[in-house]
Chains A and B, each alone.
Chain A
Amino acid sequence: MLLLIGGVVGTCWVVYQAFHVLDPHMPANTFQILAPPEAGNPQKLHHSYRIFFLKLPSIYTSALCSMLMGASAVLLFLSRKKVWEHLIVACAQIALVSCLVTIVTGYFWGEYAWGRGWNWEPQLTSALILWLSYVALLQLRASVREPRQRQTLTGVYALLTLPLYPLTKYAIEIFGDTGSHPMELRDLLAGGAVASLKSTATLAVMAFYFALLLIRLMQLDLRTRLEAINVITTTMQNAHTPVSAKPGVEA
């Protein structure tokens, strides 16, 4: 609970810190909360770097969830314990949200910096593929009813998604598109007060996601226990019901 409160307060503070500078020249009712673009000049990005205080921790969370999913899948196959399956599902759900935040904030930054939100830039596109893989995992799980088979499928799929995060991380190098992410911006994020705010933002936002992960994990565990109690109760009720009282059975 402390983690959740700390995460929520920290995230609110970071969002406030990151976005309280609004340009007075911005037209009303626009969703661009950043300074107006300097067309074609990637060095004059003004306050647009502030969106990275949300974007970077979100993609770090996706990376962490991706690694946790892989590790949990290995442990699931070694021990066949339900808790590892729950951890995979919870990680996939949190990664689904954090990856979506990354894509949306990436879209806004692209809208400002390049004048076009979605431009099939390699990193943004590979993040979308990663997001689709989380959706596919949850969809596939929903289509299988047998618990054992569902567990196997979850583990296999979690391991198969492992190569997708490195692809997102190194998308720029792989597809050879180094122009889209200017080095000046990386330098700006790595130095002085900005770096300090970035570290705080990373901690706060990741704490928030981690708290969500723990809550989801507890929820899944509780649901399993409830289902088990439900099965026991039904079995006991059936055992105590006289055969003649059962529907469809004649005395």
Chain B
Amino acid sequence: MKTSAIATTQPPPLRTWLTLVRREWLIERRSLAWLSAAGFLALQEVVVIGLAFSSEPASRTRTAMIAGALWLAFLFAGIAGSQRSFAQEYQDGALDGVLCQHGTRTPLFFAKVAVTSGLLAIVCLALMLGAAFFLSLELSAALLLLLPVMLAASIGYVAVTTLLAASLGGGQRLSGLSIGTLPLLVPLFLFATMATRDVALLFHERALLAASGGALEPLADALLRGCEVVARPLGLLIALDAVYLGLGSVLFGKALER
């Protein structure tokens, strides 16, 4: 009697989710597959972008182009990371154990999104800091404004790549991830680039004004103006995130069916 009661009792979804988040984090920490692949590629891309723009004098065009190039770097770094992460998951058979348990598929999707988007946001932050350092991009205070944009872009990005990687299965097919995700992610990156470009331009003009000895508005006012600039693309990013997370929560289980 007691045995059957234990067999039918299921842990609450939040607890399952937390366990799965821990599992994802442990897998990542053990191998550092995702972070090393994405981080190394991002570093290389910043160096290439830096080389391409190093001889260009600071201008509005240069600032806007760097903002776009950084998100492009983020896109490719994320895809490389996702491919390695899922390839390893299938290779080790780590997924099979989790899927044996009933009611773990949707929590697994959200656990993957939580851990991977957190890591991706870190890579994105590193990219921005790298750009500020190597390319003298005026982003120091603007990074505060761009943090929610980075997080929102990462969540949408990871939701789509996780769902598609699960649909593709393991092995060589994962190379198709880059073909499939790019058109779906373009809107996400358009909004993220819009926000980054506008904030970078705002602070670029401020820096120019400071260099010419003009009267500067207080930093708090500049940040407030930045908030107004970021609000619209951030709202659109959050709306897209909601759609992709909703689709992912419904379809992830179906995508894993074999």
Contact = CB atoms under 8 A, between A and B. Distances in A.
Nearest to A157: B180
A160 B254 contact: no
Contact of B183 (A133, A148, A156): A133
B182 interface: yes
A132 B182 contact: yes
Contacts of A12: none
A159 B254 contact: no
A163 interface: yes
12 contacts: A77-B251, A129-B187, A133-B183, A136-B183, A140-B168, A144-B173, A148-B257, A152-B255, A156-B251, A156-B254, A161-B183, A161-B184
A153 B186 contact: no
B244 interface: yes
Interface of A: 77, 126, 129-130, 132-133, 135-137, 139-140, 143-144, 146, 148-149, 152-153, 155-157, 159-164, 167, 174
Nearest to B163: A156
B40 to A, nearest CB: 26
A88 B116 CA distance: 31
A140 B243 CA distance: 22
Which 3 A-B pairs rank lowest in CB-CB distance, beginning with the nearest? A133-B183, A132-B183, A153-B167
B46 to A, nearest CB: 26
B184 A164 contact: yes
A149 to B, nearest CB: 6
Contacts of B108: none
B179 A140 contact: yes
Contact of B169 (A126, A135, A149, A163): A149
B97 to A, nearest CB: 21
Contacts of A144: 168-169, 173, 176
Contacts of A126: 187
Interface in B155-187: 160, 163-164, 167-169, 173, 175-176, 179-180, 182-184, 186-187
Contacts of A174: 236
B240 interface: yes
Nearest to B254: A77
Given A148-B258, A156-B167, A156-B255, 5 more contacts: A136-B179, A144-B169, A152-B167, A159-B251, A160-B244
Contact of B247 (A129, A140, A159, A164): A159
Contacts of B247: 159-160, 162
Contacts of B254: 77, 152, 155-156
